Structures are given as structure tokens and as C-alpha cells.
Structure 1
Amino acid sequence: MKITVIGAGAIGGNLAVKLSAAGHDVQVTGARGHGSVPAEVLESGARAAEPADAVQGRDVIILATPFGVAGELADLFAAVPEGTVVIDTSNYYPHLNGQVEAVDNGEVESVWNARQLGRPVVKAWNAALAGTQRTRGLPAGTPGRIALPVAADSARARHVAMRLVDDTGFDPYDAGVLADSWRQQPNSPAYCTELTLDQLPAALAAADRVKDTAVRDSVPERLAALPAGFTLDDVVQMNRAAHR
């Protein structure tokens, strides 16, 4: 597929590298232009491009930008063909992104992002830590492979995103429509807890918007309580423990 990744930070860089390695034609751009793409991302075979060029003639565009940036990109997406699948990977943390009143009042993160962008989106890859994405992808069929939820209103777009999740080393799980993607938002039982395909459905079903919001807002304090030099496993176990 012809794929563009907008955002070349930890998540965008991971996806550009993984999807290039899987054989896709990948362009990557920083939200402010191709000059912000790290050299190591381009070593995978991905190509840097200016934003206006990177969104033309592509099958998929992946937004790997901080939550709240989508509205700044609405003009860029105005000329993107309707059939292009747009995937949102962002997560809302008020202490990092600033308060968004509509989301605080119950609007689902990616529903709000889609409204800001002016087009439908798929929610994918948001429920895995950058370290998990970078180091723990496995070939399809491997026992214990981590599963990631994918939500979208379009069955076609959801299917496309699920194929790409598989290509990055994770079992895709059909999490239904975008309005239900709150179940994979921070800090639900399915969020950054490295569950398998057998375990993920129950975790999504156990999501509780009030409790999960409180868990999300306690993340800075819980991270501060971890030992110095904490590991990826420490963070995963911290996330799991919040729901026991």
C-alpha cells in the first residue's frame, strides 16, 4: 500500500519503520515538514516528504501527532480523496495536551479528532506503548502475540487498518465503531497492558469511563512511584495493576 505517516516521533517513527519493512511504500513527514524526520527512520526505506505532497495519491494516512493537533491539519486534508483511509493513533492526557472541554464532557477522543479534521478516522495503535510497538511485534501465529484493538465506522477502513496492524507484528482485534473506541482510550484495562487476542475482548468489555479517567489522571503520580530506571515491563505491570 501507499502509506503516509504524519509525525516522526516515537510512534510515527516506529510505524514508518515497521510498515516499510513489511514492504509498503511509506512516506513520512513531520507536521512541520520533512526536515523533522530523524535519519534512522529513513534508513528503513521510508522517504521524507513535505506535508502537502505526502497526503496526495496515498491509500492510507496515519496521524501520529499529539492529541489536539488534528484541527491544525484540516486545511491539509481538505483535498485528500474520500477513499483515503485516515488512522488516528493519538491519546488524550490533559496534563500533556491541555484540557479539551468536549472530551472532558464525554465526547470520544477520536470522534472529536475526526470532527476537528473534517473526515472519518480509524482508531488504531493507540493502545500500545512506543516500546511495545518497537520491540514486541511478532510474526502472525506466534503464541502469546500481543493484540491491538481497531475501531472505525467504515468496515472497509477498519479492515485496512487491521491488515496494517498485523503487518507491524500484532494481532488486530475488531473493536467495532468509533463511538466505542473509548474502551481503548487511556487508561482502560485494554490500554497499554499487552494482552493477547484471547484476553483483549474481556478487557474492552470491562472498561469504565469514570474509573478509567481517574486511572489516567493518576499516571504522573504512579510513574513517579516506580523505581529509578524503570523498564517497559514495569510500566505494563503498573497499568495492569490499576485494574485489579
Structure 2
Amino acid sequence: MLKFFRKIRQNSLLESNTSKYLKYALGEIILVVIGILIALQINNWNEEKKQQEKELAFLKEINLDFKSNKEQLDSIVSYNKVSFNAGVRLLETIQTFDLNNPIRNESNKHLADSIQFYNRLVWRNKSFNPKNGAVEALLNSSSFDLIKNDSLRRKLISWKDVLGDYLEEEAFSINFLFYEYAPWARENYDPDSTNDPENTKAFFSKRNRNFLNKRAGDLDNMLSTVKEEGVVDMIDDIIRLTEPEHND
């Protein structure tokens, strides 16, 4: 096409037809400009496609991470509910004994057996270790601008704070378990012994009852925080907003 315009231009010059030459020169310029604009548009389309592919890759990773987080947290919530209920039941059972002279006999044998069962449940621990690799990588780089959904962007930014509130409660609970209760229990109490008078005395002591109340309170706080801070709801929302069908 350019050769065609060039041929006409040469013929126009030879014929000394300036007006005709200017028209065809202008046409040639317009054709070049159009070609440049088309090339730029194609380049923009290709770049946009690359950005969309990067966004979808991030969304896929986040989706997988949060599905794993949901499965793990649901398991921990169920786990802690069992432990909390065991703590409440254990405290109720203890109160049926004479705390000044707790004795195992035929009439309370079933209660004494249940105490051992509940006591094992209440002191166990299971920590939440969420997968945050994809979110951290996104937030700490310029790639965060790839996420076009404003609702998802807000939730990803808020996730760290919401998660932090729960992990703070969990940390309080773990510190109590390992730095307050565990040292005392190792020194004063053997949960597998049923016939040692000193063991029985330690278990029914005021200090151990206080420990049990503190443990039940910590478990209740963790369960309440998950609900009140909307940890599960936020995980569900992030999963929904990163599903492939939501981003087609």
C-alpha cells in the first residue's frame, strides 16, 4: 500500500500537480498513523491479557490457601468446642465431691472415671497455622494493583488484622498452658494416677480449680473471637470472591 502511495506521489511530482501530491501525501500520513494506532491497540490488548492471566494466577493461589485455612480453622473450632465443653463438665463433676476430702468409692466411681476422660480433653491444644503466602506476596508488591475487585481488595487488606485478633487470643491461651499450668502440673499432678492421695489432693485443690476455670475461659474467648471478629465469614467471602466462576 505504501509503495502505491509512493508511486502516485512520484507521478504527481513529475506532472507538477502539487495539489494532487499533497492529497496523496496526507493520505500516506493518515495510513501510517492508523497503522501505529492499530499496533498500539494490539499491544495494549496483549498487555491487558498478560495482566489478567497474572491476576487469575494470584486468585487461584489465594483461593487454594483460604480453602486450606477454612478446613483447618473449622477443625480447630470443633476441637476447641469439645475441649471447652469438657472443661465445663469437669468443673461441674468436681463440685459433686467433698472438696475437703475427695474420695473415690463405688458410689462415685463413674464420676471419677469421667474426670480422667474430661481432664485429658480440656488440656489438649491445637493451633491455627494459616497459609498466607499468596496474600503476603500480593500485599508486599506492586502486583496488588492487579486485583480489580474492590470488595476482595478490602478483605485482603483487612485479613491480617482480623486474623491477628484471633491469634492474639490463641497466644494468651498457649502461654498459660505452657508457662503456668504445665510447670505446676508436672510438679504436683499425674493425670494417669488414681490411687495416689497427693495426686488427688492436687487435682481437687483450689489452684487446679482456678486453672480449670482459666482454661475454660480461654477456650470460650477463642471460640467467641472467631465468631465476633468474623474470621470464618471473611474466609468464606475471600474463597467466594476468588472462585474461577466469579472472575470469568
Higher strand share: 1
TM-score norm. by structure 1 comes to: 0.18
User: TM-score, length-normalised on structure 2?
Assistant: 0.18
Higher relative contact order by CA 8 Å / sep ≥ 6: 1 or 2?
2
Larger-Rg structure? 2
